[in-house]
Amino acid sequence: MKRTGTPRLVDVAEAAGVSLASASRAMSGGSGISPEVAAHVRRVAQELGYEPNLHARGLAGGLVPTIGLLVHEIGDPYFSEIASGVIRSATLENRSVQIAQADRTPESELAQVQALLRQRVGSIIIAGSGYADPEHEQKMTAALAEFALAGGRAAVIGRHYLPIDAVLPDNHRAGVSVGAHLAALGHRRIGVVAGPLELNTVADRIAGLREGIADAEVELTVVSKEFTREGGIAGARELVDGEFRGRDLTAIVGLNDAMAIGILSELRQQGIRVPDDLSVVGFDDIAVAADVAPALTTARIPMFEMGQHAVALILRPASDEARTVSTSHELIVRASTAPPRG
């Protein structure tokens, strides 16, 4: 069954009066062909409505222009906002994006990256914090190096251990802002509900927090849970009702908004008023942070823009050394923080 109507590269070659090889170079390669001929071929292709067959390209050894996007969990607003930015930019550039979930485990992350490589996607964006585990990061680096060797373009969002192009959230300084804010309000006994400590996002934010409170005599109590709303609930319970009950905290920091929202929920459950009895702060400023009860004070991280930056990075040809796009943060003070009572 001939697919009439869909012009192939031979058709444009013929129409342009050049060989298949030249047409191919005009459309993909770019090098090894005179600019005039290339321009002519492209014009003809345009007129004919030529659309390259991606499977043929993939088979012939080339890479497919698809962008592989790896997130931990697309239902998490942090990642869905990044994904939105990636897809928006990709669509503008006529690239399609294939999405995979790593489900918050390093093994799955690696497996998904390899699945993406097998499909010969031309570029890969890995969103989400890296792991402190050197063995895992080294395997990831190796996989991506091989990918780069084959002409693939990779970029990461939010991890700085890998030697490749990266979009860096302002985690450390965001932590500083949050710490300084609480210290300035007068808080001296602060609880932190952290995600897994091997995530560099968690480590960076905690380090920032410590720096932000360094001038005041603040006691920090850190518990580590899942990096989710449920983790926030569990952490809050432990801090106000568990073994740390005696600490008499006046503020709790959730290391992302999902956790902070879980914390708010648990405190409400227990009849603890925010910010009267306890202040609460988050990180990220996901869309709903302004709408929860009370409205959440948080350090805004520009997820959507980070997704767009990542696409811009992989669209640029590779260079010798890894490029980095640093983004900024903004402390958004809302209703969930206030000076401690008394």
Partner DNA sequence: CTGAAAGCGCTTACAG
**Which residues sit at the interface with DNA, rule CB under 7 A?**
1-3, 6, 8-10, 18-22, 24-25, 27-29, 31-34, 37, 50, 52-53, 56-57, 59-62
Closest alpha carbon to 28 in 64, 59, 3? 64
Closer residue to DNA in complex, CB, 34/91: 34
227 touches 258 (CB < 8 A): yes
Structure tokens at 50: 């030529």
Residue with tokens 């929920």: 265
CB of 291 to its own copies, least distance (A): 5
> Residues in the site for its own copies, rule: CB under 8 A?
51, 53-59, 64, 66, 73-75, 77, 80-81, 83-84, 87-88, 91, 96-101, 115, 118-120, 229, 261, 264-265, 287-288, 290-295, 304
Structure tokens at 94: 């006529």
> Which of DNA, its own copies, none has residue 155 at its interface (CB below 5 to 8 Å by kind)?
none
Closer residue to its own copies in complex, CB, 54/216: 54
Q: Helix or strand or coil: residue 79?
A: helix
CB of 99 to its own copies, least distance (A): 5
Instruction: Find residue 87's DSSP bridge partners.
Output: none
Closer residue to its own copies in complex, CB, 53/221: 53
Question: What are residue 228's phi and psi, to 5 degrees?
Answer: -140, 175
The DSSP letter of residue 75 is T
> Where would I find the beta strands (DSSP E) of 72-169?
97-101, 121-127, 153-157, 165-168
Closer residue to its own copies in complex, CB, 217/291: 291
> Which of DNA, its own copies, none has residue 145 at its interface (CB below 5 to 8 Å by kind)?
none
Closer residue to DNA in complex, CB, 27/306: 27
Q: Helix or strand or coil: residue 253?
A: strand
